[in-house]
Amino acid sequence: MSAPPRLAVFDCDGTLVDGQADVCWAMERAFERARLPAPDLYEVRRVIGLSLPAAIRRLAPDLSEPDAHNVTEFYKASFRARREEGLLGEPLYDGIAQLLDRLHANGWSLAVATGKSDRGLAACLAAHGITDLFTSLQTADRHPSKPHPAMLEAAMLDAGAGPQDTIMIGDTVFDIMMGRSIGVASVGVAWGYHEASELLASGAEAVANDTGHLGAILESLLGDKL
């Protein structure tokens, strides 16, 4: 009987890539175009990882439905225009490409669970030439926002992995809570948008300081030598 697959599910923004500059820019423009007060950029960084409607609701809980809809559509338009103009900057964090290559070479299944749209995630991964490393790509276009576990459950189904064979990796408490809610070991990363202390308090097994440390944590949790 073959061994069950080992599945590593990654968040995108704040975990694989640093997209905060573009998210903050697009959110500012969206509120401006809707003739609403600009959101606090610290708070914008705090909601990266949620689906767009959920993020806007957290930033401005008193918005009317029409205003919330306008901000959502203006954000999408601004972000799309920035990409089409070649101005989008979503660099991979140091060591991520090498870690993904090592995991893939060692037989891991890889997936993404993100608040991005299908189009946004596809463009991001293609820009870095890493699309083919992933078995499953799950986005907010087809699932409820984190911390609801639907994205993670779909990734496990695609990979044929159970909770005991899966690790969720992310930079926010939304990622950790998503994994914990269905018994999946969850690991935080310290280079994203929430503090390590918050990740640990929300139930993270550990918080990686860099990608080398992350590889060691994955090895210790699922017993594979990287």
Indicate the average pLDDT of the chain: 94
Q: Please report the pLDDT score of residue 89 as a whole number.
A: 85
Q: Please report the pLDDT score of residue 222 as a whole number.
A: 87
Closest CA to 157 of 15, 5, 13: 5
- For the stretch 39-50, pLDDT in tens is 999 999 999 999
Place of tokens 């606090």: 40
Q: What is the CATH number of domain 7-18+91-222?
A: 3.40.50.1000
Say if CB 68 and CB 56 are below 8 A apart.
Answer: yes
**CB-based burial of residue 17 (10 Å sphere; 0-12 exposed, 13-18 middle, 19+ buried)?**
buried
Q: Please report the pLDDT score of residue 201 as a whole number.
A: 98
- For the stretch 124-176, pLDDT in tens is 999 999 999 999 999 999 999 999 999 999 999 999 999 999 999 999 999 99
Q: Which amino acid is at 55?
A: A
Say if CB 167 and CB 8 are below 8 A apart.
Answer: yes
Question: Which runs of consecutive H residues, i.e. helices, occur in 130-210?
Answer: 150-159, 173-180, 196-201
Closest CA to 152 of 141, 139, 4: 139
Query: What count of other Cβ atoms lies within 10 Å of the Cβ of residue 26?
Result: 23
Q: Please report the pLDDT score of residue 42 as a whole number.
A: 94
Token digits of residue 176: 């950790």
Phi/psi of residue 187, nearest 5 degrees: -120, 130
Distance CA(188)–CA(97), nearest Å, equals 18
pLDDT along the chain (226 residues), means of 10: 83 96 94 93 94 94 94 93 86 97 96 95 95 97 96 97 97 98 98 97 98 96 65
- pTM > 0.95: yes or no: no
Which CATH number is correct for 20-84, 1.20.1250.20, 1.10.150.240, 3.40.50.620, 1.10.287.130? 1.10.150.240
Token digits of residue 9: 């599910």
Q: Please report the pLDDT score of residue 2 as a whole number.
A: 63
Closest CA to 42 of 54, 26, 59, 30: 59
DSSP letter for each residue of 90-123: -PBPTTHHHHHHHHHHTT-EEEEE-SS-HHHHHH
In the chain, what are the domain boundaries? 7-18+91-222, 20-84
